[in-house]
Structure 1
C-alpha cells in the first residue's frame, strides 16, 4: 500500500510527507532510467514497479516461511488464538488479490 501510494493509516503519521517525498524521488529516478516510463504519470510508474516486483516483495515479507513457522493472533479480548502454518502463507506465490482489496477490509 505504501509503495502504491494507497496506505490509509500513514496519512495521519507525522513522517508520511517525508516518506512520500522520498518515494516520489525514487520513482522519478526509475522513470528517468526507463525510456518507456517517461510519459507515464508517477502513480502509474508506481503500479508498474509493483507489478514487476510484487513476487520479490512477497518473498521478503514471508521470509520464505516453512511449514514449521507458525504465527498466532489474539482476537480482541477473547482467548481464541489462531495458528497459521507457514506464517499464513501456503505457497511461494504472492496472493494477488490482497493488494487490490481495500485496506480496511484486510484487517
Structure 2
C-alpha cells in the first residue's frame, strides 16, 4: 500500500466531500458536453483524460513556490534513477509523478 486517499480518508468531512464530488461531476459533465472527443466516455474516464491533459500544469501550480534546492520527497524514480534535482522537478522538467505507477486524477 502506497498511502491513503486523502479525499476519502476523513469521515468527519463527508458532507464537504460530497459537495466537492458533486461539483466535480458537474464540471466533468460540462467537459463531456463541450468536447466531442470525450462526450461518449464515462465520467470516470473523463476525469482520467482531464488529469492526463492537465497534470503538468497542476504540478507547476503545486510547486510554483519551490526554491532552487527544494526536493520532492522521493529523489529517485521506480528505476532507481535520480529524478528530482531542483524545484521538485526532474532533469527534463517533468514532474516526478510521471514515474509513478499509481494513476493520479480527481
SS at match of 1:58: helix
Task: Kindly state the Cα deviation for residue 66 of structure 1 after the two structures are TM-superposed.
Answer: 3.3
Question: 4+ residue stretches of structure 1 with deviation over 6 A?
Answer: none
For 1:3-41, what per-residue CA distance to the aligned partner results, in whole angstroms no more than 9, with x for missing partners?
Answer: xxxx72332223110100000001111111000111100
Residue in structure 1 matched with residue 28 of structure 2 by the alignment: 27
Q: Unmatched 5+ residue regions in structure 2? A: 74-83
Match of 1:9 among 2, 6, 9: 6
Between structure 1 and structure 2, the one with the greater Rg is 1
TM-score by length of 2: 0.63
Q: Which protein, 1 or 2, shows the higher relative CO under an 8 Å CA cutoff with sep ≥ 6?
A: 1
Alignment size in residue pairs? 84
Aligned to 2:47: 46
* Alignment RMSD (CA, Å): 3.0
Q: Which has the higher strand share?
A: 1
- Work out whether residues 69 and 86 of structure 1, in 8 Å CA contact, stay in contact via their aligned partners in 2: yes
TM-aligned CA deviation for residue 86 of structure 1: 4.0
Measure, in 1, the Cα distance between the counterparts of 2:46 and 2:27.
11
Higher helix share: 1
Q: TM-score, with normalisation over the residues of structure 1?
A: 0.63
Shift of 1:100: 1.4
What is the rounded CA distance, in whole Å, between the counterparts of 1:33 and 1:56 in structure 2?
21
